[in-house]
Structure 1
Amino acid sequence: MRVLTALKESESAPGVILMVAALAALIVANSSLGEGYHSLLEFHAAGLSIEEWINDGLMALFFLTVGLEVKREFAVGQLNSWSLRVLPGLAAAGGVIVPALIYVAFNARSAEGLHGWAIPTATDIAFALGVLALAGPRVPLSLKVLLTAIAVIDDLIAVVIIAFFYTAHIEMLYLGLAGLVTLVLILLNALGVVKLTPYLLLGVVLWWLVLKSGVHATLAGVVLALTIPLQGKKVSQQESPLEKLEHGLGPWVGFLVIPVFGFANAGVSLAGLDGAMLTQPVVLGVAVALFVGKQLGIFVTIRACALFGIAPRPEGANWLQVYALAVLCGIGFTMSLFVNLLAFEHPELQEHARLGVFIGSLLSGLLGWGLLRFFSRASATDS
């Protein structure tokens, strides 16, 4: 029990477990078990393949936690005022726009390749915070706060991108019914209903309707999260319904959902890996956009905000540490792999994008950790 409690309270544990799951997928996919690995993912049960149950079903829980975190942070957390939203908001925007432009530059001649422009725009909060925690106590708390805020806004932008750019065909009947269920959820909130059971039952119905509508089913998790009460007239316990659900789901998502997703989607075959594959536009576009684009867009934005008096540098941090934070935002594993599934239908392009995500995320993680671990001892007053 002590081990489980320690794991649950560890900031780095979810990221480390995700790394282990991804490594395990790579090993299995490139071993004699590779054929069985892919066959298992393609096995159908109750109308969906195992891979679809993971990506459309389990990941809805991930997006539910994302929505809960976004609502809490904007209402009562680190983003509860415009002054607190300015720096992470602008930094997140820079960290989306610059990687997207870099990716487009590499794939401008390929209409199909251009569909992947959003793959390198996301930050994996579990991985990034895990690496930040591994860097040791020398990392200022302000950096963790800023990284979390940037990642939360990053996730919000990713949700908007998925909703508007990766929904091809819409069944209006099912979408309309999903809208009615959403109105009922909003009404429950307005009436002060604080029991989670009716919200969760309607959430399952909402997920099924969104799945049938053609909009990606995981977005139902975000919609449900935004209707969960953060405060209620009849709430007598210390935790609000939202906080109770977030704390209850957190360990399951961090230690089960995300690792299972990573294991199911990180199985890249390296059998045909050669120099030619590494120069493919999608591979280069994703890798360079994550490793160079993320750090460039975020660090330059933060530096400009400080230079022009828009927002100060994070308290207690020097510019090298801020740069290291920007580098860590290039770890785009979970959300990048998820967007990859929506962007490309061709298995070869998906493989190329996965390889690019691995390369860009690995380089970002190693450089960010190295900077924080070995080269961030300078005074926080450095200019």
Structure 2
Amino acid sequence: MISATLPSEFTRYLRTETFGGVVLVMAAAAALIWVNSPAAESYTALRDAELGPDLLHLRLTVGTWAQDGLLAVFFFVAGLELKRELVIGELSTRDKAVLPVLAAVGGVITPALICLAVGWGSPGFEKAWSIPMATDIAFALGVLALVGSRIPSSARVFLLALAVVDDLIAIAVIAVVFSHGIQVAPLAVATVGCAAYTYAQHRRITTALFYLPVAIVVWIAVLNSGVHATVAGVALGLLTRVRTDPGEAVAPAGRLAHRIQPVSAAICVPVFALFAAGVSVNADALSRLGGDRIALGIALGLLVGKPIGIFGTSLCAIRFGIAAKPSGLRHRDLLAVCILGGIGFTVSLLLADLSLDQADAATAKAAVLLSSLGASLLGAAALIRRGRRMP
């Protein structure tokens, strides 16, 4: 029963993420137009407006609510997908997992080293190396769906598995590198909340009246613990059951993904992008971009480091017999997919905010946006050329 549901679940995931990629680009474009228009002050005023009670440090700016609150939903869905892939999906066996895991590691280390080397000595370089690590799965799958209709389906599976591992590494970096002043009491509350969530999953409790309050408590506790609040979403996603019981049509992870993923793709991530992608692209900003070594490191990391890291590691793993090449996938297909790996968007924008102060983060975000656009165009061109050469 489980294997029979996987193709439909995978297809649903692709469709939702493809739609999400389109909405994500539209939100980022709206942010850029808004910030570079005469109404720029209204954008800043809205982003910096404070909402919420002072209790439990919940009085946050709109931009922070989008970053810490809405992205927690996105990371919850990522956690669900990661758990499914690890237990019953493309990462559940060694034969399936080796290539995308190695490719993801190569695709994380190479751009990080390039960014670190180029930006060495610049203010904030100690953490800015993390910015070009992540691949935006919604954006990348959106491009692949639009122009890669003739590429083998194994390419989509490889890209999805690669992005899942990529997300896991990015999550680990956020949890370790960007945690500060860990507070034991809130962390203990979060741990108890996660334990209650796990117990409820074990007892097959299904009512949202239990899970929603527990999720809110865990998120607030993590927010106040010094660990980045999005980690709460990942933790709960990983604790959700993915195997079906006898007579059960869909496991809880599948039900939750079906309900929440469209909200994440259509609302949570685009709203975050709206408030994260608002950077000035006037002549002065572009001149700063050209002379900023961290921005240059980000651009080289995404446009050069990502494809080289992913493709080079994959090629070595295949040629040395460590992993098998996905069925029907030629080397040029793999290269085109690896170029799409250079599309860093959602998590890269988040890491820019976490790594740098506001002024430097704006320059880094501009580099992310321009590099992601470049990677999407190069990847699309490679896919189109491949399609034309097909017999």
Q: TM-score, normalised by structure 2?
A: 0.91
Q: What corresponds to 2:237 in structure 1?
A: 225
For 1:276 and 1:208, how far apart are their aligned partners in 2? 38
Deviation at 1:275, TM superposition (A): 3.4
For 2:15 and 2:107, how far apart are their aligned partners in 1? 29
User: 2:213 is matched with which residue: 201, 221, 235?
Assistant: 201
Matched, 1:159 2:171: yes
Deviation at 1:231, TM superposition (A): 3.4
For 1:192 and 1:248, how far apart are their aligned partners in 2? 18
User: 2:36 is matched with which residue: 21, 27, 30?
Assistant: 30
User: 1:15 is matched with which residue: 21, 40, 45?
Assistant: 21
Matched, 1:329 2:341: yes
Q: What corresponds to 1:369 in structure 2?
A: 380
Deviation at 1:364, TM superposition (A): 0.7
Deviation at 1:277, TM superposition (A): 2.8
Conserved? CA contact 2:27–2:274, under 8 Å: yes
For 2:363 and 2:234, how far apart are their aligned partners in 1? 29
Q: What corresponds to 2:103 in structure 1?
A: 91
Map Cα deviations across residues 123-167 of structure 1 (whole Å, 9 max, x no partner). Answer: 000000000011142111010000000001100111111001111
Deviation at 1:52, TM superposition (A): 1.1
User: 1:53 is matched with which residue: 65, 79, 85?
Assistant: 65
Aligned residues: 373
* Equivalence map 1:313-328=2 (5 Å): 313-328=325-340
Map Cα deviations across residues 156-196 of structure 1 (whole Å, 9 max, x no partner). Answer: 11111100111121111111111111222222223333444
Q: What corresponds to 2:201 in structure 1?
A: 189
Map Cα deviations across residues 50-88 of structure 1 (whole Å, 9 max, x no partner). Answer: 111111111110010000000011111121112111000
* Equivalence map 1:1-383=2 (5 Å): 9=15, 12-46=18-52, 47-110=59-122, 112-231=124-243, 233=245, 236-271=247-282, 272-344=284-356, 346-378=357-389
Q: What corresponds to 1:3 in structure 2?
A: none
For 2:110 and 2:321, how far apart are their aligned partners in 1? 22
For 1:139 and 1:288, how far apart are their aligned partners in 2? 27
Conserved? CA contact 1:123–1:329, under 8 Å: yes
Conserved? CA contact 1:21–1:262, under 8 Å: yes
Change (3 A) 1:245 1:274: closer
SS of residue matched to 1:37: helix
Q: What corresponds to 2:5 in structure 1?
A: none
Specify the code of the residue in structure 2 equivalent to 1:44: E
SS of residue matched to 1:69: helix
For 2:96 and 2:209, how far apart are their aligned partners in 1? 34
For 1:196 and 1:73, how far apart are their aligned partners in 2? 24
SS of residue matched to 1:273: helix
Specify the code of the residue in structure 2 equivalent to 1:51: G
Map Cα deviations across residues 300-326 of structure 1 (whole Å, 9 max, x no partner). Answer: 011111111112222212211111111
Deviation at 1:379, TM superposition (A): 6.3
Conserved? CA contact 1:138–1:377, under 8 Å: no
Conserved? CA contact 1:194–1:229, under 8 Å: no
For 1:134 and 1:125, how far apart are their aligned partners in 2? 14
Deviation at 1:376, TM superposition (A): 4.4
For 1:229 and 1:329, how far apart are their aligned partners in 2? 29
Higher deviation after alignment, 107-116 or 355-364: 107-116
Specify the code of the residue in structure 1 equivalent to 2:251: S
Higher deviation after alignment, 250-259 or 144-153: 250-259
For 1:106 and 1:300, how far apart are their aligned partners in 2? 21
For 1:12 and 1:211, how far apart are their aligned partners in 2? 30
Map Cα deviations across residues 204-235 of structure 1 (whole Å, 9 max, x no partner). Answer: 110011111111111111111122222365x7
Specify the code of the residue in structure 2 equivalent to 1:359: L
Deviation at 1:258, TM superposition (A): 1.1
For 2:209 and 2:92, how far apart are their aligned partners in 1? 28
For 1:292 and 1:207, how far apart are their aligned partners in 2? 37
Specify the code of the residue in structure 2 equivalent to 1:368: G
Q: TM-score, normalised by structure 1?
A: 0.93
Gaps of 5+ in 2: 1-11, 53-58
Deviation at 1:242, TM superposition (A): 1.1
Give the superposed CA RMSD.
1.9
Change (3 A) 1:9 1:306: closer
Specify the code of the residue in structure 1 equivalent to 2:102: L
Conserved? CA contact 1:107–1:114, under 8 Å: no
Conserved? CA contact 2:281–2:366, under 8 Å: no
For 2:215 and 2:95, how far apart are their aligned partners in 1? 34
